[in-house]
Structure 1
């Protein structure tokens, strides 16, 4: 548009379409002058042939004649005409489709003309009534992609049936039986879906960040356990100087290798989690960028590829299982048994004191007790009554075997409890998982959900397949049970002897664990009538 100080020459020697000095000016039948290229392009894009200035409509496309005089005057003026300064287009910007020579930066794109215009060439859309009704949007390239390839019409509708953009003619042919909606309506639907996808991606990112924290915490706990084990073993080996140095080095090396393996596993998991976070973050950025676009076609064409998150791993069952060092030191000291008896006793005493710190207060559950069992009022003792009581049946109660569980269960962390077995000739005790068969069953191994010691005239056994026979212990009076749920360890201790009996390692726990007692029936002579007693921990022993 001409400014207030624009010269008379500039106004009269400028094309009203391109607003630049005439290039090959021609005159229409109504007497108005335009660049030949400008008027030809204008008529090619219109349904009716009319003058852009006076709107006179012509029945057929006119053949405008060259205006020789105007052409000569324009050529003379071209060297002095003042062209309004505008920014040149940058590589990432949309160029003006009208500019000749140096292309200027487009300020708007017209969805009717399918062209982009700089500020100067946008002026007709702001001045002429017929052009003011055109829809202008922020500059965008590849406007030709907005045209239906089959009908050469504007893509302004969306077919949900085939998930494609269509023109009005498509609804009368290929998509005649399909429901269609305006692009804007589908845009709003997909935008809402995009918000949900973004929220899901954000949630996945947070879950993986939390998993990294869990992995790091587990490694930190592994380091602490390793430090404790190394420190305790160091005390033993140092006391034995030369003959124990080799054994100590082997032990330390085993602990360090297991710890290194755990750290390597954690490092690999963290790298994989961080990579997934990076992939999800990139996808989240793409989703956010797409959610802010006003380009309906680009949005819908891109949406399909962003709807599904990138393939990721299911982390719900992935964990870093810290190494268990229970029994490692003892195996190292077997060759030095006679020399190390005193040091081993000191070590086991320290270990027992450490696990006793995880003491829990548990009481027996009368609703789970077999009808032959008699429980004390405080829920701490159980023995066989030799008479079956009439009790309400419920899913928790053991019917076939004289078993009983505690009221309390544990689904994480560490816990410890002690059971007095003094004066008993037969008993079972340990832990079981919640889903065990309480109405029948004939095997009581880790595979069926039982981790327990069994004592009778045949000796002391850890029930497994095959069974693990353990050395007989004189006057075994009290058994301590320690469980590390997360590490998958169940350990048994001779409390009075301050000694380790057995450990089941590498266990996999996926549901709550219950302390489990079986006092075994009394025999005909009345032996084994003593109760099993859940005892308070005495750490001064």
Structure 2
């Protein structure tokens, strides 16, 4: 007890080591001069207190070396008296305790896989000094050392059975695993380590790809903003030259551009956030794999390996594809064209100008595909919106199929429902919201107004309808129609799905391919039923 008390007296409560150049502060406690200076410097000029008793001092006390105490500490060092272990050196419930220490146990410094025991730094010295013990395998402190001992034969399990995927001892190999494929745990660890490294390489590659995608998306946001700002600036100059009516239109158009800009930026940022979340998950997975990779205990490594195997099953993430930029340039061109005409022309063309804003897309279209594989790349599953379905239209197969029926369906009232025409629209609609729904006039019929397009198919053939203008289209009879829609390029193509793609309908082959510089909507009509979609 006296020795322990002496150790505590001559130890600094800040660094927990022997006092070095000891000083005594007014409350009577002693510290290393550098320790107390650093402590007070970190707390600031107004905080001068004793780390032990918490007594505060109005002025920062002057520090004078305690010569007597310094001499005593010097003598203690000569006699070999060591400082008492600090509290943080003792094993807590979550730490691995030393198996040799009696009473209050110190934290283990290493675990021995041969002795199946853990040792503090003091009791580990024999493993460094005694020749027989130098050959033992020392690893970081481990709580699960007993898991390396065979419960049936009470000997180390140094063999791994690949047939049963478990650790065994030499007795187990002769009794229950005689004809199984067995290898030393070191060999299995080497194999699994290689697999782990390969998994980490794949994960790191996906991480690099995702980080690259984030950069691309950020550039996309900047490009959208620059294009939108340029469009606003140029259009403000154009409308400044027009009369008061043009100024009002300019204000409306600016609002539409900003709204579309916000939508596009929001879409890209949402995707960016998703990619960043995936990056964070990849980093966490990499950290887990790295931690496992550094495990020195082969058995513990193999125990944990199967638990983390799910990290290796992640599929490669799809990459971000950004096509050449276009954005709002078409809008500016349309406005310049209209600005050359007078007010009456402007009034007539205003709808087309306004609609150009909604056509802006962050991805410029690619050439129209020429093969079936090329078309399938853009395939989408279309589902009809029940809220738009006329009561004579029956939806089935989860909204993927529509049928005209005589019996009226009991659909609830909804402002988007067609009540006059036997029609239905898809959930992913890009049709104009202003399209009338509740009238029987031509304004409600898809293809009979300026906001929709229709390919009508019946026993008599085909006809293309837009703004109540009909155009007959010749071609062979077929039951299914394939549709290719490119918003940014303004291309809408209809194909006979029973013919090869290379024989798809083109202007030269009596096909139908209309190019418009505004948003497009196509319809499928099968005999007497119309189903509309935007894809």
TM-score, with structure 2 as normaliser: 0.47
Select the structure that is richer in helix: 2
Structure of greater relative contact order (alpha carbons < 8 Å, 6+ residues apart): 1
TM-score, scaled relative to structure 1: 0.47
